[in-house]
Amino acid sequence: MMIIAWIGTGVMGRPMALHLAKAGHQVTVYNRTTAKTAGMAPDVKIETDIPSCVKTADVVFSMVGYPEDVEAVYRTVMKHAKPGAILVDMTTSSPSLAVKLYQEARTKGFDMLDAPVTGGDLGAINRTLSIMVGGDKDVFEKVLPLLEKLGARINHMGGPGSGQHTKLANQTAIAGAVAGVAEALMYASAKQLDPYRVISVLTGGSAHSWQAEINGPKMIDKDYRPGFYVKHYLKDLKLALAEKEDLSLPVLEQVTRAYELLAKHGYADMGTQAIIEYYLRKML
């Protein structure tokens, strides 16, 4: 059994923390909005501040919103965690910040990994996440048994920041996939095709993707309940743009503009499948 602190119990962090508790670990959680920890006890212990959450932890996990949240969290964690604790940030965040925090952690007697995930809320619930990890290989191997309770595919990608760079590559791939599904459905609608049958064809052949299988039907039904928020995906896309340097990535740039317009028109707190509204409302 390990003593684990978990910071951030949103749509993904909550089930992930509970998986670790159900695996027999002693888990203490903290969330800035305390209502999001409701119902988690007695499986986990709930604290109302970061110092109390992390003070005895062997491993500190975080799954928060934005890079500025990550930085603020670890400024506090590094003041109150016990020496030798392993810090694991699972937020999709800035690769540059991941390197900076890794270096700071080392000077203060901690080990740190960046370990963002992909697979959405269903992946978190069903323990089928893909987890990409940056940091020292020996530290990765120490936390691997914990990560295996959270996901189905866990890969060590290299040194600090490598997990975040891999996640931004993943988010770039999703940009084309999610927009492609939306455009396919718009084409199908214009040609009076049954959209559900179109999705069946797409998911049964070479056009198959997670986006088509999971988000395609939601686009048809206009079910925009978030598995992954527009505002959080837009954050990821902007991180990729900031890190791409002189690479020409026109699909990334176009899809980022689409999500910027969606956020501007009131879709920021809806799921990424709401991109269909970019086409339906002719925001182009």
What are the residue numbers of the active site?
A: 167
Label residue 60 left, alpha or beta by phi (over 0 means left) and psi (-120 to 50 means alpha). beta
Helix (H) or strand (E) holding 62: strand 59-62
In single-letter form, the type of residue at position 94 comes to S
Rg (CA), the chain: 20
The pair of structure tokens assigned to 35 is: 């209502």
Report the alpha-carbon distance of residue 252 to residue 263 in Å, rounded: 16
Phi/psi for 266 (5° steps) reads 95, 15
DSSP symbol at 146? H
The pair of structure tokens assigned to 128 is: 């089928």
Reduced to 3 states, what is the DSSP secondary structure of residue 79?
A: helix
| Gap between the terminal Cα atoms of the chain | 53
